Amino acid sequence: MINDCKILKELPAGGQKTVHLAEHPTIGLVVIKKGAIKSFTSLERIKREVELLSELKSEYYPQQYHFNIDIKTKEFEIVEDYIEGSTLREAMKSFTTVEQIFQLLQYITNGLSIIWERNIVHRDLKPENIIIRKSGMPCIIDLGIARFLDLESLTKTISPMGPCTPIYAAPEQLTNNKNIIDHRTDFFGLGIISLELFLGVHPFDPTYLENHFSIVENILQNKFLLETKQVKRDERMAELASKTLQTQPFERFRNHQLLQSFIQKHLQK
Amino acid sequence: MKVYHQTGFRHNWNIDSFQQHVGDGLIYSPINIDADKLLHLDVSVKQTGFLDPQLYLLNEAKGNLPTYPYFPGNIKPDYATPDLDTSHLQLAQLCVDFQLQNSFEYIVIPTRYYADNPTSYFLQSSDYFVLPFCDYLKEKGIQKKILLSVIVKGIMLTDDERRNEALNWITGHMCIDGVYLIFEDNFTSKQIKDFDFLLNALMFIKVLKDNGMEVHLGYNNTEAILYSIAMPDSVSIGSYENLRSFGIKRFQDLENGPMRGPRARLYSSQLFQWMDYQYIDAMSKLVEHYENYFDESEYRPLMFTPDYNWQFQKPEPYKHYFYVFNRQIKSLPVSQGDRMETIKAQIKKALSLFRTIEESVLLDEDSDGSHLPTWFNVINAFQKEVSK
C-alpha cells in the first residue's frame, strides 16, 4: 500500500519514528509512520494500538489502513487517516469560555468512553494528542502507551515513573503505581487540559503558583491554580477540578457516566 | 434505608419475621441452608434479598456449602487457589447462574478471606472474581445490579495506604453497582467501643457513597444505628452474635448452632443495648416500672411472664429484636443532619436512663451502655468531617 502513496511532506514526530504526509490514489491524504522496533515491549505496544484502531472505526479516532512489520530491518510501518485540522495546542484560543470548554470536553469524553468501555486507558492525553477537525469535532490520537487493563501490563514495575507525558500525567503514573491505573487516570489528564484552556496557562505551573517546585512536583503535591491575575475563578471549573484532579482516584468521578452527566448538567444551564 | 435479615442457623426465624413484614429482604447463608431447599423457597422471600456466596475460605466444605453447584470442591476435588487460574470462568458462571435461578434482587460477587491479605489480593480478586463475573453477566445481558463483597479488615481502616488501596480498588470497577460491605470485628467486647474504628468505618462508607455506589452493610450489631449516619443503603439484623459480628470462625468450624449457649439477652431500643436477662430480672425487683425500659412487641407479654424460661434457643427475644430494631431504623430521619442530631439526643436520653437504672441495679460492661459515650463522640467527629 505504501508503494501506492506519493509522499508530500515530512510532518513533526516524536520519539524514534518518522511521519510523512502522503497521498493515496483512492483514499486521499494519509499519514505514513515508520520507526524502529526497539524491544518486544515496543512491538507489543504498536500491535495493540494498531489492532485497537482497526477495530474502533469512530470519527473520534484516526482510521487505520495498513500495518506491517519488517522482520529483517526490525521496522514497522503504519498508514492511517490524515486528520485535517489543528492540534488542540494550536487551537487553544478557540476554547476559552467555560461553555466552549465543556462542549469540547463532552465530545472528548464521548470519544474516550469508547475505549474506557473496553477497559482501555489512553494514558497520554494532552493538547498535542487531540486534533480539532475543521468541523470542530475532536479526534484523539496516539494510543501508543494506552493501557489495556485486560491484558498483561507492559510497564516495568521497577521503573520509577510509568509511561506518560509527565506534565499531563496523574500522580499514579508519576509514581508508577500501575495497579491503580484505570479510566480515572485519564480523568486527571482531562482535568489539566480543561483548566489549561480556561486559565491559558498550565494549572500546575510554578510560575503562576508562585512556588519553587516543578510542574510534576506540584502534581504530586496536588497544588494547582483555579484562577490567575487575568482569569477569575469559575465555580463550574472548580467543581470539575475537584472531581478530576484529586491525588487518589477514589476521590475523582467514579466512572465516565458520572463525568458525562456532570458535563451535561452544566451544558444545559 | 433498608434492613436485611442476616440469616444463618435458625433462618426460619428470619423468614417468619420477614413474612410478618419485618425487614426488606434476606441475605442467605449457604453454610446454613441446603442449595436445593433454597431453590425451592418461595420467590417472595428471595426476590428482595441476595445470596452471600461464602467463598471466603474457597474450598472449606462447611455445612451445606458443598450442596451449591459453584462450590469449588464440586468443580474439582481438592480444589486449591492455583485451580482458579483455569476454572475461574466456570466458577463465575455457576455462581451467577445459581443466583439467577433463585431470582435474587442483586448478583453478589464473592471474595476470599485471609488473616493477612497477600500483596496480590486485589489483583487476584479482580482476575478471579470481579472480571469473570462482570464479563459473564454482560455476555448474558443481565440487567440486575451487581454487588461486590468486601471484607474490611482493621488495617484498611487505620492505615492510610491500605485504606486508599482498598478504596481505589473497590471504586475502580465500572461494572459494579455497589458493595456488600463487612467490617471484620476482632474486638472482644460485645459492643465496639473503639472511637477510631467506628469513625474510620463511617468515613469508609462515606467515600463509597460519595462515589455513587450502593452500600449494603453485613453482620451488623446495634452499630447499624451509628453506621446509618453515613447513609448506607441497608444495614442488617441477625439473631445470634455470630450473625451480628463477622469472624471467620463461623466458616471454619462446623456450627449447626452456636458453639456454646450464650446468656439470653433482650434488646432495648431506648437503651441501644442488649441487656442480660439476669439484670432484667434484677430490674423487675428493684426498678419501678422496669418494663417501660423495654419495647412493646407481640413477644413481650410472653417474655415478661414470671415463668418465662430465658434461654438462647427461644425465638421470642430474637424475633422481638428483629421487630424492634427494624422499627428503630425505619424511624430514623431521612436527612443526614437530622439523623445525626436525633441519634445524639437519643443517646443522651439513654445515658440518663442508665443512670436511673444504676441507682438500683449495677450492670456489667456488656449491658451498661458504656459504648454510648464513644458513639456520641464519633457522631460529633463525623459531623465535623462532613461539614468540611
* CATH number of the domain to which A30 belongs: 3.30.200.20
Residue A133 DSSP code = E
Sequence length of chain B is: 388
Distance CA B315, CA B201 (A): 31
CB B26 within 8 A of CB B3: no
pLDDT, position B59 = 86
Within the 112-171 window of chain B, which residues sit less than 8 Å (CB to CB) from chain A? 122-123, 131, 164-165, 167-171
A212-241 as b/e, with b when 16 or more CB fall inside 10 Å?
eeebeebbbeeebbbebeebeebebbeebb
> Which of these three, A59, A81, A103, is where a domain ends?
A81
Distance CA B167, CA B206 (A): 11
pLDDT score of B277 more than 80: yes
For residue A248, the tally of other CB atoms under 10 A from its CB is: 19
Smallest Cβ–Cβ distance between A250 and the set B122, B168, B174 belongs to B168
Smallest Cβ–Cβ distance between B168 and the set A117, A180, A183 belongs to A180
Distance CA B277, CA B265 (A): 5
Q: What is the pTM of this model?
A: 0.91
pLDDT, position B263 = 81
Residue B126 DSSP code = I
A198 lies in the same domain as A97? yes
- Whether B308 contacts chain A with CB within 8 A: no
A127-152 as b/e, with b when 16 or more CB fall inside 10 Å?
bbbbbbeeeebbbbbbbbbbbbbeee
Distance CA A263, CA A257 (A): 10
What are the distances in angstroms from CA A137 to CA A35, A86, A140, A257? Answer: 29, 11, 10, 20
At B259, give phi and psi (nearest 5°).
-65, -35
Average pLDDT of span B149-157: 95
- Band of residue B311 on the pLDDT scale cut at 50, 70, 90: confident
A199 lies in the same domain as A241? yes
Average pLDDT of span B44-68: 94
Q: How far is B58 from chain A (nearest CA, A)?
A: 24
A136 lies in the same domain as A179? yes
Q: What is the 3-state secondary structure of B223-261?
A: HHHHHHHHCCCEEEECCCHHHCCECCHHHHCCCCCCCCC
pLDDT score of A144 more than 80: no
Continuous segment of H or E residues that includes residue A10: strand A6-11
A202 lies in the same domain as A179? yes
pLDDT score of B214 more than 90: yes
> Which of these three, A27, A61, A81, is where a domain ends?
A81
Smallest Cβ–Cβ distance between B171 and the set A150, A179, A250 belongs to A250
Q: Indicate which of A152, A179, A256 best probes the interface with B, i.e. most B CBs within 10 Å of its own CB.
A: A179
For chain B, the average pLDDT equals: 94
A47 lies in the same domain as A127? no
What are the distances in angstroms from CA A106 to CA A258, A260, B201? Answer: 12, 7, 36
A183-197 as b/e, with b when 16 or more CB fall inside 10 Å?
bbbbbbbbbbbbbbb
| C-beta atoms of B167 and A248 within 8 A | yes
A74 lies in the same domain as A155? no
Count of domains observed in chain A = 2
A47 lies in the same domain as A121? no
pLDDT score of A149 more than 80: no
What are the distances in angstroms from CA B223 to CA A258, B87, B329? Answer: 31, 39, 11
Picking from B151, B208, B214, the residue whose alpha carbon sits closest to that of residue B185 is B151
pLDDT, position B256 = 54
CB A9 within 8 A of CB A20: yes
Q: How far is A186 from chain B (nearest CA, A)?
A: 13
Least confident stretch, A95-104, B90-99, B311-320? B311-320
- Band of residue A15 on the pLDDT scale cut at 50, 70, 90: low
pLDDT, position B260 = 64
Phi/psi class of residue A27: alpha, beta or left (left: φ > 0; alpha: ψ in -120 to 50)?
alpha
Least confident stretch, B111-125, B256-270, B292-306? B256-270
pLDDT score of A262 more than 80: yes
Instruction: Using CB atoms within 10 Å of the CB of residue B331, give its burial: 0 to 12 exposed, 13 to 18 middle, 19+ buried.
Output: exposed
Looking at residue B323, its amino acid is Y
| C-beta atoms of A255 and B207 within 8 A | no
Q: Give me the helix-helix angle, A183-199 and A235-242, nearest 10°.
A: 150
| C-beta atoms of A258 and B207 within 8 A | no
Smallest Cβ–Cβ distance between B168 and the set A117, A150, A249 belongs to A249
Q: What is the pLDDT of residues B238-276, one digit of tens each?
A: 999 899 999 898 888 654 555 567 788 999 999 999 999
At A135, give phi and psi (nearest 5°).
-75, -10
Least confident stretch, A41-50, A247-256, B99-108, B160-169? A41-50
Average pLDDT of span A112-138: 94
Half-sphere exposure of A210 (CA within 13 A, CB side): 3
At B133, give phi and psi (nearest 5°).
-65, -50
Nearest residue in chain A measured CA to CA from B178: A254
Half-sphere exposure of A32 (CA within 13 A, CB side): 21
User: Dihedral (C-alpha) B114, B115, B118, B119: value to the nearest 10 degrees?
Assistant: 120
A22 lies in the same domain as A131? no
Nearest residue in chain B measured CA to CA from A183: B172
Q: How far is A198 from chain B (nearest CA, A)?
A: 26
| C-beta atoms of A250 and B165 within 8 A | no
Average pLDDT of span B313-332: 96
Share of chain A above pLDDT 90, in %: 64
| C-beta atoms of A249 and B172 within 8 A | yes
Average pLDDT of span A118-129: 93
Q: Indicate which of A244, A247, A250 best probes the interface with B, i.e. most B CBs within 10 Å of its own CB.
A: A250
CATH number of the structural domain spanning residue A245: 1.10.510.10
Picking from B180, B205, B55, B215, the residue whose alpha carbon sits closest to that of residue B107 is B180
Smallest Cβ–Cβ distance between A179 and the set B123, B167, B171 belongs to B123
Within the 170-189 window of chain B, which residues sit less than 8 Å (CB to CB) from chain A? 170-172, 174
pLDDT, position A11 = 85
Distance CA B14, CA B323 (A): 10
Q: What is the pLDDT of residues A211-235, one digit of tens each?
A: 999 999 999 999 999 999 999 999 9
Average pLDDT of span B8-18: 95
A97 lies in the same domain as A43? no
Picking from B122, B118, B155, the residue whose alpha carbon sits closest to that of residue A179 is B122
| C-beta atoms of A249 and B122 within 8 A | no
A75 lies in the same domain as A141? no
Q: Indicate which of B174, B179, B204, B207 best probes the interface with A, i.e. most A CBs within 10 Å of its own CB.
A: B174
Half-sphere exposure of B382 (CA within 13 A, CB side): 32
Average pLDDT of span A145-157: 70
At B28, give phi and psi (nearest 5°).
-90, 145
pLDDT, position B383 = 97
User: Dihedral (C-alpha) A167, A171, A174, A179: value to the nearest 10 degrees?
Assistant: -140
A42 lies in the same domain as A163? no
CB B134 within 8 A of CB B116: no
Average pLDDT of span B45-67: 94
Residues in chain A within 8 Å Cβ distance of B172: 180, 182, 184, 249-250
Picking from B38, B36, B42, B39, the residue whose alpha carbon sits closest to that of residue B7 is B38
pLDDT score of B122 more than 70: yes
User: Dihedral (C-alpha) B260, B262, B263, B265: value to the nearest 10 degrees?
Assistant: -160
At A18, give phi and psi (nearest 5°).
-110, 145
| Cβ neighbours for A108, distance < 8 A, ≥ 6 positions apart | A60, A130, A138, A140, A190
Range of the domain at A151: 85-268
Nearest residue in chain B measured CA to CA from A256: B174
At B377, give phi and psi (nearest 5°).
-65, -40
Average pLDDT of span A48-60: 85
Smallest Cβ–Cβ distance between B174 and the set A150, A180, A255 belongs to A255
Least confident stretch, A6-20, A116-130, B245-259, B357-371? B245-259
Fold of domain B2-252:
TIM Barrel (3.20.20)
Q: What is the pLDDT of residues A244-253, one digit of tens each?
A: 999 999 999 9
| C-beta atoms of A250 and B164 within 8 A | yes
pLDDT, position B218 = 97
| C-beta atoms of A248 and B172 within 8 A | no
- Give B185 or B24, the one with higher predicted confidence: B24
What are the distances in angstroms from CA A248 to CA A86, A219, B142, B152, B159? Answer: 33, 12, 31, 19, 15
pLDDT score of A91 more than 80: yes
- Band of residue B304 on the pLDDT scale cut at 50, 70, 90: confident
A122 lies in the same domain as A219? yes
Q: CATH 3.20.20.105 occupies which residues in chain B?
A: 2-252
> Which of these three, A17, A49, A81, is where a domain ends?
A81
